[in-house]
Amino acid sequence: MNMRSYNKKGCRAIAISRDGGATWSDIKDDPQLVESVCQASLIKYGSYQGKVVYLFSNPAVTEGRSHMTIKASQDDCNTWSKGKLVHEGPAAYSCLTLLPDGSIGLFYEAGEKDPYEFLFFQSFEADELFHK
């Protein structure tokens, strides 16, 4: 489980279930996933060059909401790529999706002065996101 954290450490919190959600590990901070407090998106892309890839998007800053970023993990979310900066300015909620042609779609809130000015959709080729 990847969740917002209200512990003021500037990152997401995670917990792991090994029995389909019946029980969970203790909640731990994941400092690799920088965030103030905001909704994020996490999806399993599937296999890419022989490895299972997960994708994560959020406004990757410790304060406020800006710097919409997509990160990739090729080791079951233990480590994350530096990430691809999608929008440097104000940004908030995001949603990742897999597209029929194998590319990745990102729907997100962003703007020039405020993170809620516009809704954007961008697509990315796998090669743009899966390298560390």
Owning domain of residue 108: 37-129
Q: Taking a C-beta distance cutoff of 8 angstroms, is the pair 105, 123 a contact? A: yes
What's the domain count of the chain? 1
The list of the chain residues with pLDDT below 70 reads 131-132
Residue 73 inside a domain? The answer is yes
Residue 18 inside a domain? The answer is no
Residue 6 inside a domain? The answer is no
Residue 32 inside a domain? The answer is no
Residue 11 inside a domain? The answer is no
Residue 3 inside a domain? The answer is no
- DSSP string covering 40-70, please? -EEEEEEEETTEEEEEEEEE--SSSSEEEEE
Residue 27 inside a domain? The answer is no
Q: What is the pTM of this model?
A: 0.94
pLDDT digits 0-9 by tens, 107-129: 999 999 999 999 999 999 998 88
